[in-house]
Chain A
Amino acid sequence: MSFPLLTATAVLPAIGAIATAAVPAAKRTAAKWLALLFSLATLVLAIVVLVRFDPDGDRYQLTESHAWIADFGVRYELGVDGIAVALIALTALLIPFIILAGWHDADPSPSSQHRSSRGGTEETGTEPTSIAEGRWRPTQGFFALILAVEAMVILSFEATDVFLFYIFFEAMLIPMYFLIGGFGDRAHEHGEKAAATQRSYAAVKFLLYNLAGGLIMLAAVIGLYVVAGNFSLTEIAEARANGSLDMATSTERWLFLGFFLAFAVKAPLWPLHTWLPNAMQESTAPVAVLITAVVDKVGTFAMLRFCLQLFPEASKWATPVILVLAVISIIYGALLAVGQRDIKRLIAYASISHFGFIIMGIFAMTSQGQSGATLYMVNHGISTAVLMLIAGFLISRRGSRLIADYGGVQKVAPVLAGTFLIGGLATLSLPGLAPFVSEFLVLVGTFTRYPVIGIIATFGIVLAALYTLVLYQRTMTGPVKPEVAAMPDLRVREIAVVAPLVVLLVFLGVYPKPVTDVVNPAVEQTMSDVEKKDPQPEVEAAK
């Protein structure tokens, strides 16, 4: 038996989560280092997966299969294709930066430290938190939860059993929920109390949207079992392909909708997106990155892996509607981003617009579209991480999320402003930076089949230029506002977070081949599942 590499990649952060949570309350810094160490070790394993993966080999590689719950027809089956490998690498890459960026986010708030330090003289105070301050370990919890999310996300990328996937797809909501609700952004115009209320609202909204989507998917999962008799993705897809598993058209469509709805909430697709701005606005910047750059990718990934493979006919049937929704997402997200006063909310709406592009690329049913969409998932993860993390650094300096509170930052903090600009330019898909390649591929892929949709979506790019450049102009240029004047530039830790990601953005912008090489064979496979040929056969004239 070979070494279970995929299991190890997911179990390592899970062990890290437990270890971090077990660190004694007083040793906050040790917990942080431990978490960072585990996330780096996971990255190493992810790189090993990437190296061991042979793009031209079998469809699913490094597979593992063990009996689990025979009564439900469930097996513990893991396997990765090119798309999954790319996303696992993205996840493992981003988590160390997220941990590093959130280094101080879960330290006990200055106010409560203050209180507990004077606790002796203020026995009659109304703040009882200090009573149990010894046992309440927010820092350990914060980093443990991030690692737990990483473990579940990686497992859901690896699972080739529908039930197994569903379990982690749902279970990751719980740590995410605590990350949003328990460790929110402290910057709030109406003080900490209002922030706590807002935060808990955002966390509950996040959970209810996703749980409802997940439960609808549960009904579809059960339906799939009744129809197919097992949960193995490979077996069902094969039986679908050779015709031994026949689904009534209406059954297939209902099941497809059940699955798609859950993924569309997660992705998020208009009109199921409204939880995202709240969640991203209220959580700390690293957690916001975790939501949009990592967790949401599971939604778009699952559309590619499960919707298209299990229900090819229904996918084709639903394509027109989904494309229209995707275009609405693109334009609507961009328009709302233009009108935002809050930096993080702006980035959230920008993300909705970008997820529109990804979903459009997937359902355009062309190989350019789908490899563009996969590439987009990776690039969007990196570019949003850069933009959001720097926005987080900026916000933590001034204590406000409002765009209007800033001005002239580039004069006092040129490095911060410069990297922020690069993140912004990546978001608007400037040629030479990574997102450009993927956005271009998605648009080309869509245009060949659905020209009108493609043309409308192009306006999303124009709007993207508008909202990022206006954001930059208002916050970074102009006269230096007095509150900003003493703002320090990026610290060493912050540069360590941003610099590698910026380098990666430029590198993948100039030379995306490493990613496309891994992704393309898998995309071809998916395309053949839905029996779609690219509209211009002369491209494949190699025979």
Chain B
Amino acid sequence: MSATAVHNLWTTAAVAADPISKIDAPKIEYGQLAPTLIVVGAAIIGVLVEAFVPRKSRYYAQMFVSAVALAAAFAAVVALAADDYGTTKAGIAAMGAIAVDGPALFLQGTILLTALVGLFTFAERRLDPAAHGNRVDSFAAQAASVPGSDSEKKAVKAGFTTTEVFPLLLFAVAGMLIFPAANDLLTLFVALEVFSLPLYLLCALARRKRLMSQEAAVKYFLLGAFASAFTLFGIALLYGYAGSMSYATIAQVVDGTVQDVNPALADTMGNDALLLVGAALLVMGLLFKVGAVPFHMWTPDVYQGAPTPVTGFMAAATKVAAFGALLRVLYVVLPGLRWDWRPVMWAVAIVTMLGGAIVAITQTDIKRLLAYSSIAHAGFILAGVVAATPSGVSSVLFYLAAYSFVTIGAFAVVTLVRDAGGEATHLSKWAGLGRRSPLVAAVFAVFLLAFAGIPLTSGFAGKFAVFKAAAEGGAAPLVVIGVISSAIAAFFYIRVIVLMFFSEPRPEGPTVAVPSPLTMTAIGAGVAVTVVLGVAPQYFLELAGDAGVFVR
């Protein structure tokens, strides 16, 4: 089969992306871009709220704006999908910058729901004891004050709260919405920065253990900046190779079916060295965001240091967005190169699955443990990516949806278990939790079992979907390694369950805070999705299956 024919398997009828041949007012399809525009607009309103609304009512105003915006954006996604923009009407919007197709809409819907649930955990104000009569959330009173300084004490006493987290969250979500939908490399890079920068900031805002939080943010920022630089360099090289930023044009050049050649670039165009190095650097940047071995070093430190609501949101939504972008780059831009990238992705998937699972065994901190578990899960998802078939795409979409809700729920439970120093994340403190608070421990056990991929949870359905796709795509050895690392991973999930249920509680152990309905909703949503996707996944599998075709 020729490369073009294969390419056409993954893409619907090509809409020629015309480079700017005549100067014209850009045509923007506002309706199709509505989800992103709503979120960006709300984020800007959020900034204005910070500027003009009195401090006392900011929290409520921000909560309201964010929740309404995320819900409205989700409604817009649903409306677009209902109007067949995911299937028959899929196309390119905003002058070739953004694709509106099945995978984009599915991922945007997932990100928005995740963000909505994440928003609830952001807004939780009942867990920490009130400081000076003011209810406090998980974020620093005043981010600018030096930890332990007088100004910090004053800020706490004055009851300051960092309500800026809400617009930051919305900006991050806006970037994430564009990231998997970006249809040219420049949009991809802009989206990457738009969602990364707010996340760096959010990581630094923990109320407790502020130094650790700031350290995590600096690490994340530095490594993230490196990754961005790699990505940008890769984009530059790909531009040099193809003479265009557009996904479709680059794919045509890779396939050798390009129509018109820019004379200025005719010399370098089609230089395979540029292509290979450029593609490698670009994919490297994306794998960094995904948290795949060997680009995973930041994950445990950042997950541990960041405020737990941020960790939950980041772990869930970033993974969705980044895998979406990775899929689109590999399936739309580089399908002609798949004999080159598949072996590499094989290797990355194998080391990610095994590396994440093995290192997780030795962890003693629940947040670090979940971080390594997220690495192992990235490996499982990569197994679906490697399949390079339509069922590979839909299985990855399904897995991401299943995984993100489990993750956000699990981190929400972590916020509940507290002692005098804030959250008690050391595993030894979780001993006997099942005896003190059977319900919380049982819920966490459900999430752990879903992570472990026990049948009748969403984790099993997702794992089965990606492994099935991988096996059909001829990657049977990956499946075998996948089940082996699942077995290894099961060990440390089970270890936590043992600790919670079979160990004697410690006398100075942590207490379980009673959360407000916000966190309860977040955890409840996590459990509900975990069970529904585990017992009756058919509808959602069909949804992901329908959404499995990229537009070109």
Contact = CB atoms under 8 A, between A and B. Distances in A.
Interface of A: 67-72, 126-129, 131-132, 135-137, 166-168, 170-171, 173-174, 177-178, 181-182, 196, 199-200, 203-204, 207-208, 211-212, 215-216, 218-219, 222-223, 225-226
B435 A225 contact: no
Nearest to A169: B455
A211 B483 contact: no
A219 B479 contact: yes
B436 A132 contact: yes
Interface string B487-504: 100110011001001111
B486 interface: yes
26 contacts: A70-B542, A72-B465, A72-B468, A128-B509, A129-B435, A131-B436, A131-B505, A132-B435, A132-B436, A136-B434, A136-B438, A167-B455, A170-B455, A171-B456, A174-B454, A182-B501, A196-B502, A200-B498, A204-B498, A207-B490, A208-B490, A211-B487, A215-B486, A219-B480, A225-B468, A226-B472
Nearest to B495: A204
A208 B541 contact: no
B538 interface: yes
B89 interface: no
Interface in B433-473: 434-439, 449, 454-456, 460-461, 464-465, 467-468, 471-472
A67 B482 CA distance: 28
Contacts of B506: 128
Contacts of A136: 434-435, 438
A391 B460 CA distance: 39
Contacts of B491: 204, 208
B464 A222 contact: yes
A111 to B, nearest CB: 12
A223 B471 contact: yes
B537 interface: yes
Contacts of A127: 507
Contacts of B502: 181-182, 196, 199-200, 203
A219 B483 contact: yes
B300 interface: no
Contacts of A226: 468, 471-472
Sort A-B residue pairs by CB-CB distance and give the 4 closest, nearest first: A71-B541, A167-B455, A215-B483, A212-B487
B297 to A, nearest CB: 28
A208 B498 contact: no
Nearest to A219: B483
B224 to A, nearest CB: 35
A161 to B, nearest CB: 13
Given A72-B464, A226-B471, A215 B487 contact: yes
A259 B33 CA distance: 50
B63 interface: no
A136 B504 CA distance: 13
Given A71-B545, A129-B504, A174-B454, A211 B490 contact: yes
Contacts of A223: 471, 476, 479
B504 A196 contact: yes
Among B432, B509, B538, B545, which residue has the most Cβ atoms of chain A within 10 A?
A: B538
Interface size class of B (residues with CB under 8 A): 35 or more
Contacts of A174: 449, 454
Contacts of A67: 538
Given A136-B438, A171-B456, A181 B501 contact: yes
Contacts of B537: 69, 71
A211 B483 CA distance: 10
Interface in B23-58: none
Contacts of B471: 222-223, 225-226
Nearest to A215: B483
Contacts of A167: 455-456, 460
A85 to B, nearest CB: 25
Contacts of B498: 181, 200, 203-204
A171 B454 contact: yes
Given A71-B465, A128-B436, A204-B494, 15 more contacts: A71-B542, A128-B505, A132-B436, A167-B456, A177-B494, A181-B501, A182-B501, A196-B503, A200-B498, A200-B502, A203-B498, A208-B487, A215-B483, A225-B471, A226-B468
A118 to B, nearest CB: 17
A352 to B, nearest CB: 23
Nearest to A173: B454
A454 to B, nearest CB: 37
Nearest to A207: B494
Contact of B455 (A70, A71, A171, A203): A171
A264 to B, nearest CB: 16
A24 B541 CA distance: 39
B507 A126 contact: yes
Contacts of B437: 132, 135
Nearest to A211: B490
Contacts of A211: 487, 490, 494
Contacts of B538: 67-71
A317 B222 CA distance: 59
A72 B541 contact: yes
Contacts of A166: 455
Contacts of B483: 215-216, 218-219
A298 to B, nearest CB: 14
Contacts of A178: 501
B467 A219 contact: yes
Contacts of B505: 128-129, 131
Nearest to A74: B538
Nearest to B508: A128
A67 B542 CA distance: 14
Nearest to B436: A132
Contact of B479 (A126, A132, A181, A222): A222
A222 B507 contact: no
A127 B503 CA distance: 12
Contacts of B449: 174
Nearest to A178: B501
Contacts of B436: 128, 131-132
B22 to A, nearest CB: 46
Interface in B481-534: 482-484, 486-487, 490-491, 494-495, 498, 501-507, 509
Nearest to B445: A174
Nearest to A221: B464
Contacts of A225: 468, 471
Given A70-B538, A171-B454, A211-B487, A135 B467 contact: no
Nearest to A224: B471
A128 B507 CA distance: 6
Nearest to B398: A71
Nearest to B479: A219
Nearest to B544: A71
Nearest to A126: B507
B520 to A, nearest CB: 17
A69 B484 CA distance: 25
Contacts of B479: 219, 222-223
B360 to A, nearest CB: 15
Contacts of B507: 126-128
Nearest to B545: A71
Contacts of B434: 136
Contacts of B461: 69
Contacts of B545: 71
Contacts of B439: 135
Nearest to B512: A132
Among B432, B456, B494, which residue has the most Cβ atoms of chain A within 10 A?
A: B494
B543 to A, nearest CB: 10
A135 B468 contact: no
A191 to B, nearest CB: 13
Contacts of B435: 129, 132, 136
Among B468, B502, B538, which residue has the most Cβ atoms of chain A within 10 A?
A: B502
Nearest to B542: A71
Contacts of A131: 436, 505
A44 B145 CA distance: 71
Contacts of B490: 207-208, 211, 215
